[in-house]
Structure 1
Amino acid sequence: MYLTDRSAPAQTDTEHGRRRAPGRKVAPVVFVLGTVSLITDISSEMVTAVLPLYLVTTLAFTPLAFGTLDGVYNGVSALVQLTGGHIADRVRNHKLMAGLGYGLSALCKPLLLLASSIATLGTVLALDRTGKGLRTAPRDAMISLSTPSEKQGRAFGVHRAMDTTGAMLGPLAAFLILRAAADGYDAVFGVSACVAGLGVLVLVLFVPARGQVTRTNEAGNKPSDEAGSANSSPPVRIRDALALLRLPRLRALAGCAALLGLTTVSDAFVYLLLQRRAGIADEWFPLLPLGTAAVFLLLAVPVGALADRVGRRVVFFTGHMGLLTAYALLLWAPATPALPFLVLALHGMFYAATDGVLPAALADIVPEQLRATGLAIVGTSQALARFCCSLSFGAAWTLWGDSAALAGSAVGLLCCAAVAGIVLRPKDPTSTTDTAGTTETTDTTATTPQGSG
């Protein structure tokens, strides 16, 4: 099984030719969705940048309480992703489901002004993550369906780079607001709500409507035989979605994503640990995510293109080794001025090598009419694992201290990466490797779920 395996459901020669046609490098819809994500991430990261410090210092939350909330922040979206992905495939309207998700998250931002207890904060964050869960798989499906197989890594890299531009501007905006406003946290939450509304507006006005997000041919036009395919295929049923679990490579990717997610410490904890190790003042804390985002922005597109050429498995595991190195620096490196820069650089490299590479690897595994569902299955497994990691890491920090908790995560990540490397290693002696460094197999008999068309 391969993270880079590009075998897919049986295709006609015409469709195969469309996938191999040079065409434009990145479809216009990728840039539009990237703009929506950029604006939305400015809003989200303004909150994310100040929330750990706000909860721990202003509301005096313990690490365990914060870990619970952070787990909710990640776990709820996991529970909703499958629903959002399946409904988007069933109604064949990815834009509608993505819009509902973005809209719900935007409505939650002003509610943070009213939340002051763990119960109310947990409810608001759960609703916000519900919106994220609804929108993630349909959005990524629109990107995947508009891009040829051999350019998936580049397309997701472009989107993630634009998304990360917002993630970079969000903490900077929060930092400036905190310095300028008398009641800084409330001002951050209020401005965040306004920006989120703008992102929804761009989605509604500029993302192509239902049925218009399709792959283009060499001339840049939608092929005539594909134009009516979405309407002619039978409705997607629940058993079709469940049949995806019979795909060995999908199960392998979902299992490995979950395994590695169990030892992936959340960003908020990484920034809190870095602040403690490096002695960073509270006023500079909101800028820490800026460092991760800057590196992610610089590397997202070239790393995505590299994954298309040399293999997504290699890039994926290299990113996790970078994260493991960041853990080691937080545990044992002296508190020098270079420490924050090194840790944040490795943290950003980890996201550049994994965040877009994983969904790109699914393009040749999941049939087009079930693309959002397949993306949701892998995303759900990863998010649920990170939910468990947040809870366990917060509990370990409370019971044994931050160093013991991080050391346990580092050892666990090393072991999980070794297991995942074995599961995803090339096994099929009949496979052939193309010039792009990816692998194709000739056996496609088990790749199309029954009834999926």
Structure 2
Amino acid sequence: MVTAVLPLYLVLGLHLSPAAYGALDGLHTGATALLRLVGGYVADRVRRRKAVAGVGYGLSAFAKLGLVAAGGSLASIGLVVAADRAGKGLRTAPRDALITLSAPEASLGRAFGVHRAMDSVGAFAGPLVALAVLTAAGQSFDAVFVTSFCVAALGLLILFLFVRDHREARPPSGTVSPRAVGRLLRTAPVRRLVCAACLLGLATVGDGFVYLLLQRRESLSIGWFPLLAVGTSLSYLLLSAPIGALADRIGRLPVMLGGYGVLAAVYLLLHGPLDGPVLLGTVLFLYGLFYAATEGVLMALAGPVLPERLRTTGIALVQSGQALAYLGSSVLFGLAWQEWGGATASRWAAVAVVGVGVATAFLLRSSSPRSTDEQKGSPS
């Protein structure tokens, strides 16, 4: 709900410039990378991944109320956004580690596809609810934030009551330690994976920029803006599980690289030959396809490379590298938009995606599930 209206609230409501929005959006995702590492390490150390994830979800839930208390103060909003992303930093790696530890290795693509599809149900319904609340409350953003908090609190309750933790035997002394994390980073497959995640984050522009560029090109009214996220979520919802299963069959790396090729097409279409409903439908469908082919697939690609005892920490390393790079990407894109215009900025972003895709293919060329099976001597 909040993701759907926050760009509009900041740019149209508080009149932030593209550069200022880019800095805040980068903070929204990238500035909490350290907490991702802390959350991952603590979850592995205490073997309570569900509890660490719950703390992260709780922090993000209360941040919704913080947006109400912040009023129109940009500094206060920045702090609240940082708290919200701190919650995301704490929760994401333990949650994804639970998935990798609860599903067979050969089905990790399908498992993450199903998870992302379920997550997309909320992402699909959230903007619709936000639109309804805005309409009923006379375009009051505070009403959206309070409603979002109530929904988040309900989700947190369900997490603690019904979700099972994965509690393996206590690891031998020294297995989970800063020195062990350093050794993990020195292994070539993990090092290549983290480097690739950093490159991919650097070439990815935030959703808010994509939707704002669409809104400005098509002159969409405020009431229609949240529906842009609905279109992306619907595509993501329908495609994530089939794409995850496809990645298990033909290889996760080709599917992920194909997803970034789709992202390059999205950036080019933002100022391409299409317009009107055709442009909106095409971009939102392809944007959902991009997420379906990359977000869960990258975690499925990482799972078999990381040892079980440091699974959460390893996932946090990958996600933190991507988040820090995303911080730079958001700031750079915001500056480019402000200096050269949205059309030039989005075209250069497409060029960056293609270049990063080639570099990622080189880095991860031996990390596909098929190559891993062959190295282990597994039957095809």
SS at match of 2:225: helix
| Partner residue in 1 for 2:209 | 269
The answer to whether 1:317 aligns with 2:272 is no
1:246 equivalenced with 2:201 (yes/no)? no
Q: Displacement of 1:441 after TM fit?
A: 4.7
Q: Any gaps of 5 or more consecutive residues in structure 2? A: none
Match of 1:237 among 142, 164, 177: 177
Residue equivalent to 1:43: none
Does residue 335 of structure 2 align to residue 395 of structure 1? yes
User: Match of 2:179, as an amino acid?
Assistant: R
Residues 323, 346 of structure 1: 8 Å contact kept:
yes
Letter in 2 for 1:230: A
Q: CA deviation at 1:210?
A: 6.0
CA distance in 2, matches of 1:141, 1:412: 30
Matches within 5 A, 1:289-438: 289-426=229-366, 437=370
TM-score (normalizing by structure 1): 0.80
Matched-pair contact (CA < 8 Å) for 1:261–1:383 = yes
Matched, 1:163 2:103: no
Greater gyration radius: 1
Distance in 2 (alpha carbons) for counterparts of 1:114 and 1:232: 44
The equivalent residue for 1:225 is: none
CA distance in 1, matches of 2:370, 2:199: 26
**Structure 2: how far apart are the matches of 1:254 and 1:134?**
18
Q: Distance in 1 between matches of 2:274 and 2:286?
A: 17
CA RMSD of aligned residues (A): 1.7
CA-CA distance at 1:182 after TM superposition: 2.3
1:26-51 deviations in Å (ceiling 9; x for gaps): xxxxxxxxxxxxxxxxxxxx111111
Which of 20, 23, 47 is the aligned partner of 2:2?
Answer: 47
Report deviation, 1:337: 2.1
Query: How far does residue 318 in structure 1 lie from its aligned partner after superposition?
Result: 0.6
Q: Tell whether the 8 Å contact from 1:156 to 1:360 is kept in structure 2 after alignment.
A: yes
State whether residues 110 and 190 of structure 1, in contact with CA within 8 Å, keep that contact through their aligned partners in structure 2.
yes
8 Å CA contact 2:68–2:145 kept in 1: the answer is: yes
Percent identity, please: 50
* Distance in 1 separating the partners of 2:366 and 2:153: 46
Residue type of the partner of 1:65? A
Unpaired runs of at least 5, structure 1? 1-45, 212-228, 428-432, 445-453
How many residue pairs are counted as aligned between the two chains? 375
Q: Which whole-Å deviations, capped at 9, do the CAs of 1:163-208 have from their partners, x for residues lacking one? A: 1110111111101111111252111011011111111111111112
Structure 1 outlier segments of 4+, above 3 Å:
436-439, 441-444
Contact 2:55/2:87, CA 8 A, preserved across alignment: yes
User: 1:82 is matched with which residue: 1, 18, 37?
Assistant: 37
The change in CA–CA distance for 1:209 and 1:261 in structure 2 (over 3 A counts) is closer
The residue aligned with 1:101 is 56
The 3 A distance-change label for structure 1 pair 274 and 231 is: same
Matched, 1:440 2:373: yes
Matches within 5 A, 1:61-76: 61-76=16-31
Between the aligned partners of 1:336 and 1:193, the Cα distance in structure 2 is: 35
Question: How far 1:76 sits from its partner (Å)?
Answer: 2.5
Does 2:77 match 1:137?
A: no
How has the CA–CA distance of structure 1 residues 323 and 210 changed in structure 2, closer, same or farther, with 3 Å as cutoff? closer
State the one-letter code of the partner of 2:51: L
Contact 1:261–1:389, Cα closer than 8 Å, also in 2:
yes
Residue in 2 that maps onto 1:283: 223
CA distance in 2, matches of 1:209, 1:394: 40
